[in-house]
Amino acid sequence: MKKFYLPLMLLAASLCACGDDSPSDNPGGGGEPGGGPSGGVTDVVNVISDLTVELSTDKACYLPGDVVSFTVDGTLPADARVRYRRGTEVVEEGNLGGNTWTWTPPSTDFTGYLADVYRTRDDGTQVILGTIGVDVSSDWTRFPRYGFVATFDDSKLQPGVIDEEMQFLSRCHINGVQFQDWHNKHHWPLGGTREAPAETYTDIANRSVSAEVIRRYIDTQHALGMKSMFYNLCFGALDDAAADGVKEDWYIFKGAGRTDKDVHDLPDSWKSDIFLLDPSNSEWQDYIGQRNDDVYATFDFDGYQIDQLGDRGTRYDYQSNTVNLPRGYASFIEAMKTRHPAKRLVMNAVSGYGASQIASTGQVDFLYNEMWGGEGDFEDLRTAVMANDQYSNHTLQTVFAAYMNYNVADREGLFNTPGVLLADAVMFALGASHLELGDHMLCKEYFPNSNLQMDDALRTSIVRYYDFLTAYQNLLRGADTGAETDVSLTASTASSAFSVNAWPPRLGGLTTYAKTVDGKTVIHLLNFRDADSLSWRDADGTMPEPRQLNLLGISLDCNRAVSKVWVASPDRHAGAPEELAFTQADGRVDFTLPALKYWTMIVLE
């Protein structure tokens, strides 16, 4: 069997940080603490799946002390049981007496659980029937799973439309929702005035907006445990802004001497182009702050999703001074927080522009990167995550606004499932999340574009990926997530061996990304064996479906005693974990990985 050594990661800790040297307290723990030649699990339970029931909960996420209400759609066998797991640890389990029941999770804050319904066959094999993730967190921004809504006309008032959309987001555990293109004007977002708010108005593209739709979305989201964030630029005004009190000396210009206002061009059929102002101008900050006061007084929004337009090049203020936009963004954020300390703030860093200044304010709740073609490779995702970790001193999560199948999104069709799932697998493995789910799946920076749709297979897979992101959030994105680490790993089947490389990905092989998390070694195995590019964008929708590898022999260097090896994948058993038999001898751990499709997470305790 050929050996493929992985190069050292930049933040490598030790040869293999395999965690605590003491044996596991759980039944089925493997071997003696010393990890001798015969060490390994001898009583691992065989797990298969027959995913015949669908689970749902009454909310997207829960506060500590909340009661979780579960519902099963499908026929339950008489011997069906439910258990609630944190990793492989069974927190609680019991029999099921019907298709609805409740559970009160432990009071531990910021914890993800997997609830799985299963039955045990006469031979001891456990059959997974269905699973669902549960997030218990007092603050949604600790593990943000961000969604959006982008259409607010009267069609959304048809019975069940908003409920159905938000129930799907809740099923995917989306805990914050961005309201895109909901506003009347960028400089005057509320339709009408605080004293006389308009019930209908038009957005920038002259689409109809119903205030009742906005209210219903907010009320429905709040009932499901979600937060509602309104979108707006930090520095936008339409061509009629002077009549609404916007002053000429607040704008920025392309040249010194007040020549040529900076402008974001829009189609002629829209209300106006967007003219840009100096975000650091205190009078503009006070003006837009008052307009936001009107918004908060009229709608029960939880915060402000602030936007920008990336690097504009050299720009000048009214006095012909050079404008430092990133510094202006920080000033703007601080002014908005001072005005509404209880409201949440998130700001877009377009292609990373201004990310350091945004993070350094300490006033945003997570970091939001809109990724473009210049950051189109999988490696660029890790670069952004690592930069954000550095900027925030490892305190803020990363959310990617990253548009899939972009080049084919101007015509109606379906998303390319392999491209979407591989991109999500990488983002989630890196510890980030993906803004992609809303009243449709996102394919363009113009959020109302709904040309591409999910087919049933992708919709099912997306639910399982978000269950996985939620259930294993402490391993993927937890506060105890440590440094990247390096491993030396080989992979083979009975007939062939496969090239394995550490991050970054390479075409034609398998890629590992490993970290130490709460004393465990977590190895993400990602399948690029059949990938046609190293771009997460899958811009033309051509990424092929990977061939699944089964019974993959894994051997890796590890100089610490291992008490347990387990794996989980959103592509297998709906994310339910499997504890594996293993041996440890001569500084190596050997086991058989049951399957690899897109992504499998390997955990050594």
CB 484 within 8 A of CB 515: yes
Confidence of residue 480 (pLDDT cuts 50, 70, 90): low
Please state the rounded mean pLDDT for residues 536-559: 96
Q: Strand, helix or coil at 284? A: helix
pLDDT score, position 1: 30
17 has a pLDDT exceeding 70: no
> Is the residue at 98 inside a domain?
yes
| Range 414-443 average pLDDT | 98
Parallel, antiparallel or unpaired: strands 176-179 and 227-233: parallel
> For residue 563, what are the domain limits?
481-604
Q: Are 563 and 22 in contact (CB under 8 A)?
A: yes
The CATH number of the domain holding residue 486 is 2.60.40.1180
Q: What are phi and psi of 175, to 5 degrees?
A: -110, 0
In a domain, 304, yes or no: no
444 domain-assigned: no
String of DSSP letters for 52-75: --EEEESSS-B-TTPPEEEEEESP
CATH code of the domain covering residue 80: 2.60.40.10
d(CA 121, CA 290): 65
Q: Specify if 204 maps to a domain.
A: no
Q: Residue 34 contacts by C-beta under 8 Å, 6 or more apart in sequence?
A: 561
Rounded distance between C-alpha atoms, residue 474 and residue 514, angstroms: 15
Q: What is the pLDDT of residue 488?
A: 86
Q: Is 351 helix (H, G, I), strand (E, B) or coil?
A: coil
Last residue of a domain, one of 119, 135, 151: 135
Q: How many domains does the chain have?
A: 2
pLDDT score of 36 more than 50: no
Window from 139-148, 495-504, 531-540, 593-602 with minimum mean pLDDT: 495-504
Where is the domain boundary, 93, 118, 135?
135
> Residue 9: what pLDDT?
31
Q: Does residue 245 belong to any structural domain of this protein? A: no
pTM of model > 0.75: yes
Confidence class for position 478, pLDDT limits 50, 70, 90: confident
Q: How far apart are CA 136 and CA 113, in angstroms?
A: 8
Amino acid occupying residue 222: H
552 in any annotated domain: yes
Directed axis angle between helix 456-471 and helix 417-429, to 10°?
10
Average pLDDT, the chain: 92
Question: pLDDT, tens digit, for every residue of 185-203?
Answer: 999 999 999 999 999 999 9
Residue 567 lies in a domain: yes
Q: What is the DSSP string of 483-517?
A: EE----EEEE-SS-EE-EEESSP-TTSEEEEEEEE
pLDDT score at 39: 53
Q: Do strands 227-233 and 303-307 pair parallel, antiparallel, or not at all (unpaired)?
A: parallel
Q: Which residue has the higher pLDDT, 582 or 97?
A: 582
Positive/negative CA dihedral, 416, 420, 426, 429: negative
Percentage, residues of the chain above pLDDT 70:
92
Does position 20 have pLDDT exceeding 70, yes or no? no
Q: Helix count (H) and strand count (E) of the chain?
A: 9, 37
Confidence of residue 21 (pLDDT cuts 50, 70, 90): very low
**Beta bridge pairs of residue 68:** 103
End-of-domain residue from the set 135, 161, 189: 135
- Residue 29 phi, psi dihedral angles, 5° rounding: -65, 150
364 domain residue, yes or no: no
